[in-house]
Structure 1
């Protein structure tokens, strides 16, 4: 999905500059460990980054395309609701990592 495409059947949306629109993966409340133990949201200790899926990118975004999974700090985010669904709006520089098949193993991922 590109930034110019229509989200659901509403108004077309074009992201500007270096903005990335993402959809959160899973819920922000309790989570499960790999062993299946339920960890409540109140048990979070320290800073925890979150994964999301990019659903739209602005024209000046260089390292992210729609469909990539991105890692970001959920404390530094702007939430927006579009057609009844919640999304997060980020700047490309606020994304810490990109997980995609097209990412090269030998690339450093440095953003200068």
Structure 2
């Protein structure tokens, strides 16, 4: 199952903003361009999972705020629900691909 470019762009758009407001891609380009050491796969994976977790926590806070009547902005709530959903879907898709790759590696004779 190939991930369509539209879904990938939506995921990058949803996850593109970090706390400092700079996109992850720009941070990586800046690090590579400045000669700084590149982050490894494990660090990238940890950062991505942390961002997905942050989106989920933000969604939970917004749902609780809406349920208690503190915030009545339905539009922002629905946008956050979609962001969290897309982030989780993409994380699940990546997890599935990694597991498929691992299964293929295990099958290989050495």
- Which structure has more strand as a fraction of its residues? 1
For this structure pair, what is the TM-score category when the shorter chain's length is used for normalisation? under 0.3
Normalization by structure 1: what TM-score?
Answer: 0.22
Max radius of gyration: which structure? 2
- Which structure has more helix as a fraction of its residues? 2
Normalization by structure 2: what TM-score?
Answer: 0.22
